[in-house]
Structure 1
Amino acid sequence: MVKVARLTIRPARPEDAEDIHAGLRGIAETIGAPHKVKSTPDDIRNFGFGENAAFEVLIAEIDSRFAGMCLYFPIFSSWLGRPGVFVQDLFVAESFRGMKVGEKLLRRLAHDIDTQGGVYIELAVDTGNLAAQRFYERIGIAHQGDDQVHRIAGDAFRAFAKNDEEHE
């Protein structure tokens, strides 16, 4: 008799923080940048849950085992005049790859956001992560060549924030 794996997708709970963090480290290892992950499971618990959560996570489980996650937060398109979500991190554990876990996580997220009045999903992919780029293209999430991401973080961000002469 062949046992069929059972996929469950559910909202994350604080006790999932270790698995979520492991997923983040897994993404970083995939792109050869584990040193870039500065967050901790406590950061995930502190900022991802409660009344002022900075993000939400969908957890995928297969036969009650952590199979993957989709970490996202709300955004708004002033041009579309509608809300959407930004997928910050999508991770599927290696032993569950090829089972459409990532696609099912994104489709569940799209369904949930659609029922809340949202009209889009946006995400960024590391330029060196060609497998992820092919995956997104295959499922219909196309690269938008008309946008370019700009960011300021860390020491440069703190210096920029402190240099606000209007508030001195």
Structure 2
Amino acid sequence: MSVTIREAVAADIGAIHGFILALADYEKLSHEVKADRASLDKYLFGPRPMAEVLIAENDGEAVGFALFFHNFSTFEGRPGLYLEDLFVIPEARGLGAGKALLSRLAQLALERDCARLEWWVLDWNEPSIAFYRSLGARPMDEWTVQRVDGEALSALASAHPAR
């Protein structure tokens, strides 16, 4: 048995969607999932992809994924990689799939001249936090996440007319 990492292809949409649903269930956020196969196909493999996905396989079977995209640091003056989601099915945890996914992301960050690789983790997810710390990740406790969505996003968009 060995874990391998590969780039996702459009034929992986079903597996990616399944991983997203399983992750949402684990994070107790299933009620927030709006992604479906069509939206994933459009934004991951359409004419203008907005994110990329790596698939972890064990003996040829998909056991996990990492969905990521580029961001940009104005202070560094260089791009970064932002890991939106990483998930490994419970039966495959302990095989090294999570570490292999993060290692491949770090390789991509270096290959692409990125200044950093970063992600969020829920504050109650102690197993993941401990895992990330073991890999050298450090918390950015002085930062808080801000979000505008739904009606607030629409209101903000209409606050100043585009010219």
For this structure pair, what is the TM-score category when the shorter chain's length is used for normalisation? Answer: over 0.9
Structure 2 SS opposite 1:167: coil
Structure 1 residue 79: Cα displacement: 0.8
Unaligned runs of 5+ residues in structure 2 are none
Q: Counterpart in 1 of 2:162? A: 167
CA offsets 1:79-138 (integer angstroms, 9 cap, x no match): 112211000000001110011211110111111220121121010112222222222112
Q: Secondary structure at the match of 2:56?
A: strand
- Alpha-carbon shift at residue 153 of structure 1 (Å): 1.1
1:35-61 Cα shifts (integer Å, max 9, x gaps): 111111211111011341000001111
> Which of 138, 142, 147 matches 1:142?
138
TM-score, scaled relative to structure 2: 0.93
Mark the runs of 5 or more structure 1 residues left unpaired by the alignment. none
Give the letter for the 2:97 counterpart.
V
Is it true that 1:109 corresponds to 2:105 in the alignment?
yes
Tell me if structure 2 keeps the 8 A contact 1:31–1:128. no
- The aligned amino acid for 2:50 is A
Query: How many residues in Structure 1 have an aligned counterpart in Structure 2?
Result: 163
**Displacement of 1:160:** 1.9
* Amino acid corresponding to residue 167 of structure 1 in structure 2: A
CA apart distance, 1:163: 2.8
Give the corresponding residue for 1:56: 52
Conserved in 2, the CA contact under 8 Å of 1:73 and 1:85? Answer: yes
Percent of aligned pairs sharing the same letter: 33
> Structure 2 CA distance, aligned partners of 1:119 and 1:167?
33
Shift of 1:162: 2.4
Matches within 5 A, 1:4-19: 5-19=1-15
Find 2:127's aligned residue among 114, 131, 138. Answer: 131
Which 4+ residue blocks in structure 1 deviate beyond 3 angstroms?
Answer: none
Q: TM-score, normalised by structure 1?
A: 0.91
Q: Distance in 1 between matches of 2:19 and 2:30?
A: 11
Q: Could you tell me how far 1:167 is from its partner in structure 2? A: 3.0
Q: Is the Cα–Cα contact under 8 Å of residues 5 and 55 in structure 2 kept in the other structure?
A: yes
Q: Deviations over 1:49-79 (max 9, x none)?
A: 1341000001111111111011000011111
Aligned Cα root-mean-square deviation (Å): 1.4
